[in-house]
Amino acid sequence: MAYDSFFLKPERGMLEVDCWAHARRHVYQALDHDPSRMRTLLLMIAELYGVEKLARPRGLSGEDLRLLREQGARPVLEKLHAYSLQIHKELLPKSEAGQAVNYLLKNWTALTRYCENPALSIDNNHTERSLRGWAVGRNNWTFFGSDRGGRTAAVLRSFVASCELVKVDPSPGSTSFCQIAGRSSLDSLASGRKP
């Protein structure tokens, strides 16, 4: 993987944390090729997410979350790891199932780090969801009709993204923002100068 080089030098102080959603995706893609074993893995991964689901309504964080993961997820992780090691020997390395299990085993330490640190998440779905608008929009934004339209859209998207980041509803301010934006040059808006 391209990011592996970031974690090769300990003096950088970077610690690799892997994403169970990505690991699950590998297993799910191999489901048609080896239904029995991949289904077993998927059920165990679902148990891990079940532990996280217990924490949400309780609002657990810090040491409480770490303890819940230690008691709920750690035994499942041990069972999942042992099963992966067992079936790894039985699978062809280049098969879909073999590659899925190899992914789990190769990234095991990084996949289990979330149990040690309650500030870490089981996956990075929240980050991917926040980027989804940009990825979807990229295809749409090629057809603004003019460079000025594209710049205006970029300023407006930046405004909305900033509001979302600080958890402020952009609706009340958007009317006055758009009125100011309509009377101003984009350069003055981007620089923060008054119109």
The Cα 121–Cα 178 span in angstroms is 37
pTM: 0.70
Exposure string (b/e) for 83-113, b if CB count within 10 Å is 16 or more? Answer: bbeebeeebeeeebbbbbbbbbeebbebbbe
Separation between Cα atoms, residue 149 and residue 167, nearest integer Å: 27
- Give the per-residue pLDDT at 56: 92
pLDDT, tens digit, for every residue of 148-166? Answer: 777 777 777 777 777 777 7
| Two structure tokens written together for 78 | 């041990």
Contact 61, 120 (CB under 8 A): no
Mean pLDDT across the stretch 13-29?
93
Instruction: Say what the pLDDT of residue 185 is.
Output: 54
Instruction: Compute the radius of gyration of the chain from its Cα atoms.
Output: 23
- How far is 36 from 193, CA to CA, in rounded Å? 63
Query: Which contacts of 104-108 are long-range, i.e. CB under 8 A and separated by 24 or more positions?
Result: 104/23, 104/26, 104/27, 104/41, 104/80, 105/81, 107/18, 107/23, 108/81
Contacts 24+ apart (CB under 8 A), 160-164: 164/130
- Summarised one tens digit per residue, pLDDT across range 50-104 is 999 999 999 999 999 999 999 999 999 999 999 999 999 999 999 999 999 999 9
Amino acid at 80: L
